[in-house]
Chain A
Amino acid sequence: MRDLKEIQLAMQPPMVEGDHDFGTVSDKIGDVTLKKRTPFHWFIGFGIAFIVAQLLMMTVTTLLARGIGIWGNNQPVGWAFDIINFVWWIGIGHAGTLISAILLLLNQKWRTSINRFAEAMTLFAVACAAMFPLLHTGRPWLAAYWLFPYPNTMGIWPQFRSPLIWDVFAVSTYATISLLFWYVGLIPDLATLRDRAKNKYFKFLYGIFSWGWRGSARHWHRYEIAYLILAGISTPLVLSVHSIVSFDFAVSQLPGWHATIFPPYFVAGAIFAGFAMVLILCIPLRVWYGMKDFITDTHLIYMGKVMLATGLIVVYGYAMEAFFGWYSASQYEQFMIYNRAISGPYWYMYWLLLLCNGASIQLLWFKRFRESPFWLFIISLIVSVGMWLERFVIIVTSLNRDFLPSSWAMYSPTMFDWTMFIGTIGFFFTLIYLFVRFLPIISIFEVRTLLPQANVHGRPQDFDESVLAIEETYDRTDPPNK
């Protein structure tokens, strides 16, 4: 019997390590926010992030005062850093929804300890992403009637046949649903913190935001229905959001944008970039806050595998783009690929992109790299850079050499392009640091369900475990169906 158990362990490693019960799980996660002194490195990290975020404030102020001419956008490169960064950030967000919704529907228990901060990451990434198109309008306070359909005195409406307006609906729905999903998951944990907080003010605040949750069976019943259906509707939502983002390009006529492969290729790229960001966040987090019992090495290995799989889909996308360019027999499409990879002014960006997104992830085939948090962290950083380069290659190299050579022009970012981009990274990490300080970074009530004590009558909850239990009652030498 023992060998079967070993196989079982290898197939389904435990998702919570160490000796825990319901109380210690609650304390270990809850005390990070409630009891422990805020560690010194938190102040350093938060301080740096907050200072970097000021670059964003400075850029936005200048932009509102002087207009979007402070950016390097020109004709024909009318979309540059603003849209690159928009797509980059929104793509990062997608891993959070994938982890919280799709993996929930697929009954992947390893999502449980990473879903909370992956969802927070989604929320903050979408906030960063939304800033770019909004500020690209130059006068965001006027953008309301360009973007949202409301009866205004001018009697005009947005154009619903435009992918840009689809994008408005997709991204605002995505932001709202992500917020709701995240908040619903937080309610029982906020109640835990409320009942445990000693500080009067924190107790009051957690009490208000947990809405008086008391863990009633009738409440849990509806709660689980709502949570599952939210997961069910978030799944098509997340796939639609990046598909619609890709329509911004694919619906246009420009060679390099006008490609049918864009929606799946963009969705895979988004998940790829998002898992890289989850790894970048959780590898230091689990060490700093001693969460290795909940975010185990198994979690990191699984995420590495997802990164490898989605990365390969993305590489397939690059291959297909090149193939379509040649196979289309259109001189513009052929020129686009030739220009992108060999003759164009940004050719090195393309090869850098293949190096970052194509070559670097091949290391993940090897156990040595997959099982080393250090290498996973390095590869994730490289992938994040690579995914940014991908959007640069798609947007800038396609725009700057289009149909008519007389309209060709070079693009180079200005200082304000860089400060805005770097500023949003600071803003993102500022929010992440605040989240880590004030809210439970791991879903406490879901981790409780992972413990063996949570099974009523010791009934195993997993199919594989129940198979094991059945097999244990029979002699394995028995012929089947006896």
Chain B
Amino acid sequence: MKENLYGLLAEFDTPTELVDAANSVREAGYKRTDAFSPFPIHEIDEALGIKRSILPVLIFFGGLTGTLLGVSLQVFVHYIDYPLNIGGRPYLSWLSFVPPAYELTILLAGFTAVFGMLFLNGLPRPYHPLFNVPRFALATREKFFLLVEASDPKYSYDETRAMLEGLDAQEVFDVPE
């Protein structure tokens, strides 16, 4: 039994092995797990039991804020604060308010998409215990990794390690805290 570990990290060669291993780990009842790959793998979401993110909902409300901001800004400027009578045309000429409101919708939706994604991902995070494993540098290159955190209720060093080794992992690493 080792102390002060962040978790155990298993290395795999192919995405297929990673997905199979993730399935086994989930079926064994582990919850605090994560996988690392050099490109997105769609099958892994199901294998790890990742729930669909709330991000699209946030983006919708981001965009809606943009629309409301655009409309209220223009109505305030041209109808309330500084009405200009030009040839008797209506003050509330809403058709010409569409393009700026439309662009603001897209702007705020885009900001929410990018910064919402980074925020939910907990980025920026320049340091992470995983970076203590030298082989982990290959996660952004060609190797696939599966992590079981030490904080998982089912975690026990010897058992978890034995299970990961039984999953055709190339190697299993201790991740120091």
A: residues with CB less than 8 A from B are 21-23, 26, 149, 155-161, 163, 165-166, 169-170, 173, 176-177, 180-181, 183-184, 188, 191-192, 194-196, 207-208, 211-226, 229-230, 233-234, 236-237, 240, 244, 247, 445-446, 448-449, 453-458
B99 to chain A, nearest CB (A): 4
B38 to A456, Cβ gap below 8 A?
no
B53 to A222, Cβ gap below 8 A?
yes
B111 to chain A, nearest CB (A): 7
A456 to B113, Cβ gap below 8 A?
no
B120 to A22, Cβ gap below 8 A?
no
Most buried by B among A21, A26, A160: A160
A23 to B142, Cβ gap below 8 A?
yes
B83 to chain A, nearest CB (A): 11
Question: CA separation between A457 and B139, bound complex, in Å?
Answer: 20
A214 to B36, Cβ gap below 8 A?
yes
Q: B114's contact among A22, A163, A166, A230, by CB below 8 Å, is which?
A: A230
B126 to A230, Cβ gap below 8 A?
no
Q: Which residues on A sit within 8 Å (CB–CB) of B81?
A: 157
14 pairs from A and B in contact (CB 8 Å cutoff): A157-B78, A166-B103, A173-B103, A173-B107, A183-B114, A184-B117, A208-B126, A215-B140, A217-B48, A221-B50, A224-B40, A226-B113, A236-B106, A240-B102
Q: Which of B73-87 contact A (CB under 8 A)?
A: 73-74, 77-78, 81-82, 84
A41 to chain B, nearest CB (A): 29
A225 to B56, Cβ gap below 8 A?
yes
B10 to chain A, nearest CB (A): 14
Question: CA separation between A443 and B167, bound complex, in Å?
Answer: 32
CB-CB under 8 A for A149 and B77, given A216-B36, A217-B36: yes
CB-CB under 8 A for A217 and B37, given A160-B97, A192-B141: yes
Question: CA separation between A34 and B73, bound complex, in Å?
Answer: 48
Closest to A21 in B: B142
Question: CA separation between A161 and B96, bound complex, in Å?
Answer: 5
CB-CB under 8 A for A457 and B36, given A192-B141, A212-B125, A225-B117: no
CB-CB under 8 A for A215 and B139, given A169-B103, A220-B37, A240-B102: yes
Question: CA separation between A236 and B142, bound complex, in Å?
Answer: 36
Q: Which residues on A sit within 8 Å (CB–CB) of B131?
A: 214
A32 to chain B, nearest CB (A): 16
B109 to A229, Cβ gap below 8 A?
yes
A214 to B16, Cβ gap below 8 A?
no
A169 to B99, Cβ gap below 8 A?
yes
Q: Which residues on B sit within 8 Å (CB–CB) of A217?
A: 34-37, 41, 44-45, 48, 50
Q: Is B164 an interface residue (CB 8 A)?
A: no
Q: Which residues on B sit within 8 Å (CB–CB) of A183?
A: 114
Majority SS at the chain B contact face: helix
Q: B137's contact among A157, A188, A196, by CB below 8 Å, is which?
A: A196
CB-CB under 8 A for A456 and B43, given A218-B50, A218-B121: yes
Q: Is B55 an interface residue (CB 8 A)?
A: yes
Q: Which residues on B sit within 8 Å (CB–CB) of A191?
A: 140
Q: Is B59 an interface residue (CB 8 A)?
A: yes
CB-CB under 8 A for A448 and B38, given A169-B100, A225-B53: yes
Question: CA separation between A181 and B106, bound complex, in Å?
Answer: 13
Closest to A212 in B: B125
Question: CA separation between A169 and B66, bound complex, in Å?
Answer: 12
Question: CA separation between A215 and B100, bound complex, in Å?
Answer: 37
A197 to chain B, nearest CB (A): 10
B125 to A211, Cβ gap below 8 A?
yes
B50 to A449, Cβ gap below 8 A?
no
Known A217-B37, A220-B44; further 14 A-B contacts with Cβ < 8 A:
A149-B73, A160-B96, A166-B99, A169-B99, A170-B99, A184-B114, A188-B38, A195-B138, A215-B37, A219-B123, A223-B117, A223-B121, A240-B102, A454-B15
CB-CB under 8 A for A457 and B16, given A192-B140, A221-B53: yes
B149 to chain A, nearest CB (A): 12
A22 to B97, Cβ gap below 8 A?
no
Question: CA separation between A215 and B128, bound complex, in Å?
Answer: 12
Q: Is B130 an interface residue (CB 8 A)?
A: yes
Q: Which residues on A sit within 8 Å (CB–CB) of B113?
A: 180, 226, 229-230, 233
Report the 3 A-B pairs with minimum CB-CB distance, sorted nearest first. Answer: A22-B142, A226-B117, A211-B124
Question: CA separation between A454 and B13, bound complex, in Å?
Answer: 11
B125 to A180, Cβ gap below 8 A?
no
Q: Is B151 an interface residue (CB 8 A)?
A: no
Q: Which of B148-170 contact A (CB under 8 A)?
A: none
A180 to B114, Cβ gap below 8 A?
yes
Q: Is B176 an interface residue (CB 8 A)?
A: no
B168 to chain A, nearest CB (A): 14
A456 to B19, Cβ gap below 8 A?
yes
B100 to A160, Cβ gap below 8 A?
yes
Q: A456's contact among B41, B55, B77, by CB below 8 Å, is which?
A: B41
A26 to B77, Cβ gap below 8 A?
no
Closest to B44 in A: A217
CB-CB under 8 A for A195 and B140, given A160-B77, A173-B106: yes
Q: Which residues on B sit within 8 Å (CB–CB) of A208?
A: 126
B114 to A212, Cβ gap below 8 A?
no
A230 to B74, Cβ gap below 8 A?
no
Q: Which residues on B sit within 8 Å (CB–CB) of A149?
A: 73, 77
A207 to B126, Cβ gap below 8 A?
yes
Closest to A25 in B: B142
B143 to chain A, nearest CB (A): 8
B19 to chain A, nearest CB (A): 5
Question: CA separation between A23 and B138, bound complex, in Å?
Answer: 9
Q: Which residues on A sit within 8 Å (CB–CB) of B35?
A: 216-217
